[in-house]
Amino acid sequence: MFFEGKIQQAHPEKHLKSIVSLAVVDVKYIFLYVNIGCQGRISNGGVFNNCELNDKIQNNALNIPEPTALPARTEEVPFYFVGDEAFALSENMMKVYSGYHERSSKERLYNYRLCRARRVMENAFGLLSAVFIVLRKPMLLEPKTATSVVTAITLLHNFLRKGNNAHVYTPAGSLDEEINGIVRLGNWRESNNDMASILPLEIRPRRASRTAHNIRSEVAEYCIQEGSVSWQENYAYNKTYRICCGNRCRYFYPVETS
């Protein structure tokens, strides 16, 4: 399950407003939770901290499994969501290490692995805007109406992804594919060169607890030891990369070249 936040601009050009879409997506690109309609000028973390989902997480009301040790390790790690840089690092929310890190460092490889997970959300949002072109430009609608439109789109997306004809909605090649660490970019990216209405939210620095930092460090250690994969070293040393982790992310993937 993956978190992401995007801004959907709305209403007349001279007085642009925005609504914020906060979502949880699973590995099958299904939206499990969507919070749409909070007015703009607020960070992802601010939206998350004030939504019902966060309340349920804090009150242990989501039936999330108990913390468990990663394979072949002893320290217990809680199950967590993956968020972008605008979210605050917490025990239930992991994000990338900020700043530049040397190739083959645990921080850089952890960031790569986390961005692979975040790419699921990026593909889900990208597919929405590629198929439903109303999302590609500011909507000339009142925020309340625009909220209803975006809600309907996510529901329709889920219906099409779950149906027997999902292959028609997302034929082969529509979404990013990764083989041995090499990414073949999805066709939706060709349709989304101009996504003026979907923007990343503001990043605001937030202080994280020592426990959250320790959990991230444990996951990073796992990524370079017991949980390492052979092709992640190609990421560390290959010089041919392309930015593939959203509008803002500075981390790279090895991509298929012609």
DSSP letters, 160-188, are HHHSTTHHHHS-TTSS-EEETTEEE--TH
Q: How far is CA 236 from the centre of its chain?
A: 22
Does the residue 244 lie in any domain? Answer: yes
The label of the residue with tokens 């034929």 reads 171
Residue 251's pLDDT is what? 43
Does the residue 75 lie in any domain? Answer: yes
Name the average pLDDT for the chain.
78
| pLDDT average, residue stretch 237-245 | 48
Q: Which residues contact 51 (CB under 8 A, 6 or more apart)?
A: 22, 35
Which of 84-88, 171-175, 230-234, 245-249 is predicted most confidently?
Answer: 171-175
Report pLDDT digits (tens) over 35-45. Answer: 886 654 555 55
Residue 185's pLDDT is what? 85
Report pLDDT digits (tens) over 162-216. Answer: 988 899 999 999 998 887 767 788 888 887 655 555 555 555 556 778 999 999 9
Does the residue 149 lie in any domain? Answer: yes
**Count of residues for the chain?**
258
Report pLDDT digits (tens) over 70-89. Answer: 999 999 999 999 988 778 89
Residue 8's pLDDT is what? 47
User: Is residue 245 scored above 60 in pLDDT?
Assistant: no
Number of structural domains in the chain: 1
Does the residue 57 lie in any domain? Answer: yes
Task: State the CB neighbour count (10 A cutoff) for residue 39.
Answer: 11
- Expressed as residue numbers, the domain containing 122 is 2-253
Does the residue 150 lie in any domain? Answer: yes
| Element (DSSP H or E) covering residue 10 | strand 2-10
Does the residue 176 lie in any domain? Answer: yes
Residue 256's pLDDT is what? 56
* CA-to-CA dists, residue 178 to 54, 186, 190, 231, angstroms: 32, 10, 18, 11
Does the residue 258 lie in any domain? Answer: no
Report pLDDT digits (tens) over 97-117. Answer: 988 787 778 898 898 888 888
Report pLDDT digits (tens) over 120-145. Answer: 988 998 898 889 988 887 788 888 88
Residue 161's pLDDT is what? 94
Residue 108's pLDDT is what? 86
* Percentage of the chain exceeding pLDDT 70: 73
